[in-house]
Chain A
Amino acid sequence: MSRKFARSLGGVIAAAALVLGAAACQKEGTGTNEAAKCEGKIAFMGALTGADAGAVLPSRDAAKLAFKKFAAANPNCKVELVEFDTQGDPAQATPVANKIAPDASFIGVIGGAFSGESKATMPIYEAAGLVMVSQSATNPDLTKTGNKSFHRVNGNDTTQGEAAVKYFKDTVKATKVFVIDDGSTYGKGISDVVKSGLGALKAGEDTVQKAQANFDATISKIKGVAGVDAIAFAGYTGEGAPLLKQIRAAGITVPFVGFDGVYDPAFASGAGTAAEGAIVTCPCIPAEKAGGTFAADFKAEYGKDPGAYTAEGWDAATVFLSGFKAGKVTRADMLAWVDAYNEQGLSKKIKFDATGEVDKANVVVWAYEIKGGVLTPKTEIKLG
Chain B
Amino acid sequence: MSIKVENLVVKYGDYCAVSDVSLEISDGEALGIIGKNGAGKTTLVETMEGLGDKTSGSVSINGIDPSDNKNRKKLYNMISVQLQSTNYPDKAKVEDLCKLFSSICDNPVDYKELLGQFDLTEKVNKSVGSLSGGQKQKLSILLALISHPKIIFLDELTTGLDPDARRELWKDLRDLKKKGVTIILVSHYMDDIEMVCDKIGIMKKGKLITVGTKEELIKASGLSRRITFTCNDNVSVLLDKLDGVANIDVLGDQYTIVVSKESAAKKCSEILGKNKIKYTDYVVSRPTLEDIFLHLINKSNGDEK
Bound together: no
